[in-house]
């Protein structure tokens, strides 16, 4: 397995990033530790999380994922073997949100404490903040980088216009967003392909897409009008349960059968084969799921396979 350079940084990561959103939520502490152990032992090194994971769960306050990751790194003594990607800026409580100088440094410090580390490899703005000038946000990052608390600034969920504005500001002496984390997968291509992808390629940004499996749709477990599909009607995947979505699953199945692979492996391998993508993000809630997705790095799709999937 060859490591890939993450944009213009000096970071080299494996072709698959582990999503930490499930830690402390659908994967308890013991299971999370087992997944993290197996991931690292298999030669992978980059883990994506955020301070708000998993504040969206009733009874959670946010920081649950970072806390588990921090405990794991401390207990195992593996901080120097891991590339940590985390995010800040979304609401963590009353008055605790945004990318301004009044809050973002505090958010970063809180993440550092939960992660039990002195530095964050890639610190992302979770979403652009319309109430804060981009220059102010980048100035905060300049100070964080200067203090050794952050190695590289990055962005998630930015539109082409927002990313262009940030890059223009960095040309005036401020830190540059070196990595973009967009929503991108076989089922939802329009948001990234086009202007956003072009900006990333032209500026040499690293790209680590989230929702790489379309919230589980591309694993093939939601099909037709059966129980799986019915159970997903109120789920995020419901928007894919249509003629185009089922046609896409049929194409994924055809490619998977050619290689003796699973649909999830095909969907991840497709992203890895995209020249603009550094590495997709995928989560696992148990060791069986992890074993399945890790095999995607060994799957090489042919031009015919790529054409089959290009719907």
Residues acting as catalytic residues: 53
Within 10 angstroms of residue 265's Cβ, the number of other Cβ atoms is 23
Coil, helix or strand for 10? Answer: coil
Whether residue 123 contacts residue 110, with contact meaning beta carbons closer than 8 Å, is answered with no
Q: In what order do the strands lie in the sheet with 177-181?
A: 206-207, 177-181, 150-156, 120-125, 83-88, 46-48, 17-19, 281-282
Residues 6+ apart with CB under 8 A from 77: none
CA distances, 75 to each of 44, 68, 71, 284, 297 (Å): 18, 10, 6, 21, 28
Bond prior to 54 in cis (omega within 30° of 0): yes
Query: What percent of the chain is helix, strand and coil (3-state, nearest 5)?
Result: 45, 15, 40
Rounded Cα distance between 83 and 224, Å, is 39
**β-pair partners for 179:** 206
Q: At 247, is the secondary structure helix, strand, or coil?
A: helix
Calpha distance 180→199 (Å, rounded): 10
CB 272 within 8 A of CB 297: yes
d(CA 202, CA 178): 12
User: Is-contact 299 271, C-beta < 8 A?
Assistant: no
């Amino acid at each position: 397995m060859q490591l890939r350079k993450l944009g213009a940084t000096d970071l080299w990561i494996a072709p698959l990033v582990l999503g930490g959103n499930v830690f402390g939520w659908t994967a308890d502490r013991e299971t999370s530790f087992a997944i993290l152990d197996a991931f690292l032992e298999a030669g992978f090194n980059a883990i994506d999380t955020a301070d708000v994971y998993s504040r969206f769960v009733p009874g959670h306050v946010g920081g649950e994922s970072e806390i588990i990751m921090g405990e794991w790194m401390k207990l195992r003594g593996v901080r120097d073997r891991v590339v940590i990607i985390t995010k800040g800026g979304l609401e963590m409580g009353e008055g605790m949100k945004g990318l301004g100088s009044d809050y973002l440094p505090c958010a970063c410090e809180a993440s550092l404490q939960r992660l039990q580390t002195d530095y964050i490899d890639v610190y992302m703005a979770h979403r652009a903040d319309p109430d804060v000038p981009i220059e102010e946000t980048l100035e905060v990052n300049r100070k964080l980088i200067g203090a050794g608390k952050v190695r590289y600034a990055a962005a998630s969920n930015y539109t082409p216009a927002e990313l262009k504005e940030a890059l223009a500001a960095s040309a005036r002496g401020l830190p540059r967003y070196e990595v973009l984390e967009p929503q991108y997968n076989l089922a939802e291509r329009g948001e990234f392909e086009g202007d956003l992808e072009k900006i990333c390629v032209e500026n040499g940004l690293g790209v680590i897409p989230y929702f790489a499996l379309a919230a589980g749709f591309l694993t093939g477990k939601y099909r037709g009008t059966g129980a799986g599909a019915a159970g997903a009607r109120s789920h995020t995947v419901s928007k894919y349960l249509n003629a185009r979505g089922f046609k896409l699953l049929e194409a994924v199945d055809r490619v998977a059968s050619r290689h003796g692979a699973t649909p999830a492996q095909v969907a991840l391998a497709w992203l890895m084969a995209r020249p603009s993508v550094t590495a997709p993000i995928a989560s696992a809630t148990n060791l069986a799921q992890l074993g399945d997705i890790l095999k995607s790095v060994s799957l090489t799709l042919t031009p015919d396979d790529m054409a089959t999937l290009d719907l």
